[in-house]
Amino acid sequence: MADPLLATLGAAPFTIDDLEALASSAARLALSEEARAAVAASRRVVERYAAGEEPVYGLNTGLGANLDYRVEPAALASFQEQLVRGRAIGAGEPLPERVCRAALIARCIGLARGGAGISPGVLDLLLAMVERGVTPVVPRRGSIGAGDLGLCAHIGLVAVGRGEAWYDGDRLAGDAALAAAGLHPVKLGPKDGHALCSSSAVTTGYAAVTLVDTARLVLFAVYAAALADEGFAANLAIFDSRIASLRGAAREEEAATLFHRLLEGSSLFDGSPRRLQDPLSFRCLAQVVGVVLQALGDARREVELEIAAVGDSPVVLLPHGEMLSTASFHTPAVALAFDSLAIACAHLAGSCFQRICRLMEPELTDLPRYLSPVGGGSAGYVPVQKLAAALLGEIRLLATPASLDAMPVSDAVEDVAPQTPLAISKVADLLEPLRILVAVEALVAAQAVDLRAGARLAPPTRRLHEAVRSVVAPLEADREPAPDVERVVSLAADPSLLEDLAGSLVGLDLPFLPRISAVAGTP
């Protein structure tokens, strides 16, 4: 078994790739000396306020509309477990285990900043849960993005021996999972329950994992589009840096540079182009992919800010020794970034669909109709246009913004909310139909390349063509397209292939390339 990944909390900032890597592997989290000192110092502040008379939200008061209720000093500790149990509202199927583990790790990173004032022993249990593979089961539904109180409570439940957790492939009761890992539930002290629940850790973990998955798919998608250029024998002058620099909108120059890198060495750069102008789905690739790069980069930035943030309310301010209420749990920037990313992906999908169709039109390609080498009544690849259209319809539906409305709750004390988890889940759900659609483009583009006599592929596009041909033979007589599509879909998620494809882009500053900075021992 490979050694676990190691991350020190309180040292280097974490990227989305760091968080996803830790969530996807055996890992050990350690506190830096500075982080350990900050946790201890903030805990002393909590204990001082707990012994005093000044009202502090969630420490010695009720929550929401119950904020005027004062908790008796003798009940401060028991109130915290009551808080956790009463707020565990998650319902429906759970988030994937990898997402739940990312949420647990995100909460550990946040608690290590000191602002929560959690008891060191409670944080130590969470760190041990990460190391020993105890992952709380967190339902998908129950957060409106104004903090994840009702979902993070499911993490808190396991810490006190309730709820459910995954351990060694099994879904167990929380106390049983802890016992199987050689751990014991903790007894919460003042503010501990609120510190466990009052955060956006589920949003942050879900967002980081979804962004990494999106980035990997975008990598495959730009390769598929470049291979489509090869199959169409597109006019590559459109990627001339002089053209891209004239406007410089939404990372258009970076996208043009990207496609020039992917297609450098192609015979399409030899001599005059086949056509003076191509359909817009080919001509506008730099503009469409530039928008995707912009949206992906914006979302990456916002989520990495959340990973590094202290989002607690109330927050312990060091070295001042104060506790103040905040609104740092509110995440509209993340919600808007994911809504924008979903729309950008829909634009990417729309141009992908059009290239699939254009590649089958002999009037535009000078290739056999439907890319069928036998002709006559052969269907070739035209039936997959219906599949592509169905996928595009699904993607467009999932691109509908989620962050537009809020329903007042808690006696209208909580009267605005960004619906951030819903915005993230739409992107996560969108990836499956987009992956299939992109796989169809790669499949059809490979067939067009094979039919275009004398074509010399650029080294990067040749690598994708070879990968497609390693799992799917060229189409001759009609056969079932579905198995071919499924094989290329598997390629689109193959880690070794994606790593190989990314290797051709070394030196380019692209938001879909992984950035590992805070994790030691990564492969």
Q: What is the pLDDT of residues 144-175, one digit of tens each?
A: 898 999 999 999 999 999 999 999 999 999 99
- The CATH number assigned to the domain with range 32-199 reads 1.10.275.10
Per-residue pLDDT, averaged over 471-495, amounts to 97
User: Other C-beta atoms within 10 Å of 520: how many?
Assistant: 11
Range scoring the smallest mean pLDDT among 138-142, 288-292, 403-407, 411-415: 411-415
Looking at the chain, the whole-number percentage of residues with pLDDT higher than 70 is 98
**pLDDT at residue number 31:** 96
- Residue 3 pLDDT > 90: no
**400-452 tens-digit pLDDT:** 999 986 777 876 677 788 899 999 999 999 999 999 999 999 999 999 999 99
At 294 the pLDDT is 97
User: Taking the mean position of all CA atoms in its chain, how far away is CA 416?
Assistant: 25
pLDDT for 63 beyond 90:
no
In angstroms, what CA-CA distances link 169 with 134, 135, 172? 10, 10, 9
Superfamily of domain covering 207-406+414-520: Fumarase/aspartase (Central domain) (1.20.200.10)
pLDDT at 471 over 80: yes
Average pLDDT rounded to a whole number, residues 22-31: 96
The pLDDT assigned to 206 comes to 98
Taking residues 260-264, report their average pLDDT: 96
In this predicted model, what pLDDT tens digit does every residue of 340-353 receive, in sequence order?
999 999 999 999 99
d(C-alpha 515, C-alpha 493), whole Å: 18
- 108 pLDDT exceeds 60? yes
Q: What is the DSSP letter of 167?
A: E
Band (523; pLDDT cuts 50, 70, 90): very low
Whole-angstrom CA distances from 22 to 104, 202, 426, 455 are 11, 15, 24, 43
Strands 5-9, 519-520: pairing is: antiparallel
The segment(s) of the chain belonging to CATH 1.20.200.10 are: 207-406+414-520
Average pLDDT over all residues of the chain: 94
Q: Place 269 in a pLDDT band, splitting at 50, 70 and 90.
A: very high
Q: Are 237 and 277 in contact (CB under 8 A)?
A: no
Does residue 308 contact residue 110 with C-beta atoms inside 8 Å?
A: no
Q: Tell me the average pLDDT across 442-465.
A: 96
List where CATH 1.10.275.10 sits in the chain: 32-199
Give residue 315's pLDDT band: very low, low, confident or very high (50, 70, 90). very high
Note the pLDDT of residue 412.
66
Q: What is the pLDDT of residue 193?
A: 95
* pLDDT (average), residues 264-272: 94
